[in-house]
Structure 1
Amino acid sequence: MRTTPVLRAAAAACALLLAAACSSGSGEGNDSAGRAHGFHAPDLPMQKKVGKGEGELNIVAWAGYVEDGSNDPDVDWVTPFEKKTGCKVNSKVAGTSDEMVSLMKTGQYDTVSASGDATLRLIASGDAAPVNTGLVPNYRDIFPSLKRQPFNSVDGQMYGIPHGRGANLLMYRTDEVLDEPDSWSAVFEDAGRHAGYVTAYDSPIYIADAALYLMETRPKLGIKDPYALDEKQLEAAVDLLKKQRKSIGEYWSDYQKEVSAFKSGDSVVGTTWQVIANLAAAEKAPVKVVLPKEGATGWSDTWMVGAKAKNPNCAYQWLDWIVSPKVNAQVGEWFGEAPANRKACAETSDPGFCDTFHADDEAYFQRVRFWTTPVKECLDGREDVTCTDYARWTKAWTEIKG
């Protein structure tokens, strides 16, 4: 999962690991750029109106997304929501995207803050319902570039409300990596320069990072989308990652360990997030981050509604609440991510927060390929081959790590 440095109380308690419509319209229309090519969603009904709340709401979320003041009395957007709506919030923190998928399959939860490596799985299995964005007033202020994307929609139909986003960046110690790298080659072809001190993200979705690099460096492979790999393309990515494995000191599995590793020098170059880099720098680690010239993978989380939700009215009220400007700003600062609501930047306590996290820098995010669940129907539009799905990637990741 993803954690945030401000969750000091939660982090002190445990080390949070990473893992990783009957009516088809909602006023969104079709958008070829956001279409999951060849992917067909189950025919499920979409909510038509929001009625009186049912009195409770059961949520599965990443740590830091559903704060009620128990971690920090000054950080609480749950209590105001409960007072406003009468919906008592019961939240479950999930440690991985796989855990989120499993929990949503039980039908016991109404909404989930799913990352792109889980969303299509939830849609395909019929565990997530299409979302009527017309019932979420604050949706109109979500950055347009986050709408109708392959990881949160099918054929133009949204399956959730965008919440926040971030890029997977390259971080390095300036006293050990002296050439100021601007390419992912620093952790692939050139990883041997720092053998034993290279770190990488511990999840099958990291295969996409290798695929992204190969898109630029080995164009003959024909990779057009790092999440749409046929068997030959996947094998090329796996080979690259197996070579990288020889130089890996450790795969990072929680933010505190990565901060400590860069501070001590046990890691000198590898994948990170902006929030981790900020914390490492605050701890006096001599680090810099860069969005490499090849671009980067990244994550954009989506609030989805369970197809079996017992409290759908409370769920829709939560979706509108959590992406409202003030609350979206609170979550963004607490968690460490760029908010999805463009009006949230005017509500942050730190005036420079959105600049640091590139919240409204579309040119920056155009270089980021957000996590999307690999499926057999090639998301790049190819119909003459079968692409590898997440199960195949999971098996490959096990082989890579050995």
Structure 2
Amino acid sequence: MPLTRTLTAAAATALLLTATACGSGSAGSSGGGLNPPRLKAPSKLGRAEGQVDLVAWAGYVEDGSNDPKADWVSSFEKSTGCQVHSKVAASSDEMVKLMKTGEYDAVSASGDASLRLIASGDAAPVNTSLVPNYRDIFPDLKMQPWNSVKGTAYGIPHGRGANLLMYNTAKVHPAPDSWSAVFDDAAAHRGHVTAYDSPIYIADAALYLRATRPELKIKDPYALDQKQFDAAVALLKKQNRSVGEYWGDYLKEVSAFKSGDSVVGTTWQVIANLAASEGAKVKAVLPKEGSTGWSDTWMVSARAKHPTCAYKWLDWIVSPKVNAQVAEYFGEAPANAKACAHTSDKGFCTTYHAADTAYWKRIAFWNTPIQQCLDGRTDVRCVPYARWVQAWTEIKG
């Protein structure tokens, strides 16, 4: 399936002007400084409305039309009477734009979109008691800075993944254990380094600088003051001289590693698995500095026309068997702790570190950079995401 999490830079700036003016809380607390519109979650559900309109990543809402073996929509429709209409979004920015139309009931938002939807009032608080399967979600996915504000949940965690370092085992020696392989030491493989094509990748550089340049005092790679931001941008401009290709389409990265055009760069576990299965001599590791990553959340529109069916979908998609199906099909760790007992590959949850709390503590999940620093600082302003978008264009030249 077409795994895509790319960001459309041309559209991003306008979409972010509102959200980046808002505050946010410290990383590790639940959106402490963000002040979204006062909206209420429903206290109970009514009768099913007969349909639900969804915006989702490719591979999240499958009805068998793409792959006969991947169908968790048909059984949902049969059991609830809610007919599913879904729109695949190619980027977080497209998701935000679509949700602003009010034509969709729910969205599978990543952390680089969720705060925008909360701040703008497009996403409503979620009553988790109306989602019975929420009780089995891994605790470290609940009430996080990207899916809650001041103790109020704004969605149901769906799955998560880490951005890893992949390298060609025949051409990269010694085996790298640090992001220095694609930053300070990138020139060793000039023209064969690959990087994720998105403004959010600036956080990867910031995470590396957090470990290697302590004088910058970076605490949160999504909360960068001007000096910290300039350092991350400078590092990426230097890296650009060694980058052969920026990737957003997973198939292009697989092809590049198979051909030898790319020998080291950022990846996802599912891509590494696929590349290896197709003969590429690759290995993926979580570097010693830790990494960035994503945690997706199903959020309900504040203007949902079919709220009952939306809640039924939220509960269905994180039910153990279905969450296991989606996780294996998409290639990510499931959110429901009971899902691991239902994966067809009994080693799947071990490979994807589903229950490895220590592993996930090393991941800085995508969040939306805004002016009020996410790390809690109040004496400076942080660089908002609209500026990240502008800088990304400059970085790529």
**TM-score tier (shorter):** over 0.9
Query: Given residue 142 of structure 2, which amino acid in structure 1 is its aligned partner?
Result: K
User: Residue type of the partner of 2:258?
Assistant: K
Q: Which amino acid aligns with 1:196?
A: G
What's the CA shift for 1:344? Answer: 0.1
Q: What is the one-letter code of the residue matched to 2:110?
A: S
> CA shift at 1:38, angstroms?
2.0
Task: Map 1:226-375; keep pairs closer than 5 Å.
Answer: 226-375=221-370
Residue 131 (structure 1) aligned to one of 126, 130, 134:
126
Residue 19 (structure 1) aligned with residue 7 (structure 2): yes
Aligned pairs for 1:1-400 within 5 A = 7=1, 11=2, 18-19=6-7, 33-400=28-395
Task: Give the counterpart letter for 2:289 in structure 1.
Answer: E
Contact 1:32 1:155 in 2 (8 A): no
Aligned to 1:378, the other structure's residue is in SS state: coil
Query: Residues 27 and 374 of structure 2 are in contact (CA less than 8 Å); yes or no, is this contact kept in structure 1?
Result: no
Deviations 1:15-64 (A, max 9, x none): 957226xxxxxxxxx99933224222221121111121111100000000
**Which secondary structure does the structure 1 equivalent of 2:246 belong to?**
strand
Answer yes or no: is the 8 Å Cα contact 1:31–1:156 preserved in 2: no
Distance (Å, rounded) in 1 between the aligned partners of 2:32 and 2:289: 24
**C-alpha offsets along residues 104-146 of structure 1, whole Å, 9 cap, x if unaligned?**
0000000000001100011111100011111110000000000
Partner Cα separation in structure 1 for residue 7 and residue 176 of structure 2 = 27
Contact 1:31/1:155 (<8 A) preserved: no
Query: Within 2, Cα distance between the matches of 1:39 and 1:17?
Result: 25
Q: What is the one-letter code of the residue matched to 1:246?
A: R
Residues of 2 paired with 1:365 and 1:93: CA distance? 27
DSSP-derived class of the 2:55 partner: strand
Measure the CA separation in 2 of the matches of 1:387 and 1:157. Answer: 25
**Gaps in structure 1 of 5+ consecutive residues:** 1-6, 21-29
Q: Deviations over 1:220-242 (max 9, x none)?
A: 11110001111111111000000
Q: Give CA deviations for 1:227-266 in whole Å, capped at 9, x if unaligned.
A: 1111111111000000000100010120111000000000
Q: 2:134, 2:318 within 8 Å by CA — same for their partners in 1?
A: yes
- Structure 1 counterpart of 2:240, which letter? R
Q: Which amino acid aligns with 1:132?
A: N
Q: Deviations over 1:57-91 (max 9, x none)?
A: 00000000000010112211001111111111000
Deviations 1:136-183 (A, max 9, x none): 100000000001111111112111000000000000001110111100
Contact 1:231/1:388 (8 A) holds in 2: yes
In structure 1, what is the Cα distance between the partners aligned to 2:151 and 2:174?
44
State the alpha-carbon separation in 1 of the partners of residues 30 and 372 from structure 2: 12
Q: Retained in 2: the 8 A contact 1:37–1:380?
A: no
Distance 1:364 1:98, change over 3 A: same
Distance 1:32 1:370, change over 3 A: closer
Residue 147 of structure 2 contacts residue 154 of structure 2 at CA under 8 Å; is this kept in 1? Answer: yes
Give the distance between the partners of 2:26 and 2:308, measured in 1 at CA: 28
8 A contact 1:37–1:377 mirrored in 2? no
**In 2: Cα distance, 1:128 partner to 1:269 partner:** 38
Unaligned runs of 5+ in 2: 9-24
Quote the sequence identity (%). Answer: 72
**TM-score scaled by structure 2?**
0.94
Tell me if structure 1 keeps the 8 A contact 2:98–2:104: yes
| SS in structure 2 of the partner of residue 239 of structure 1 | helix
Give the RMSD, CA atoms, in angstroms: 1.4
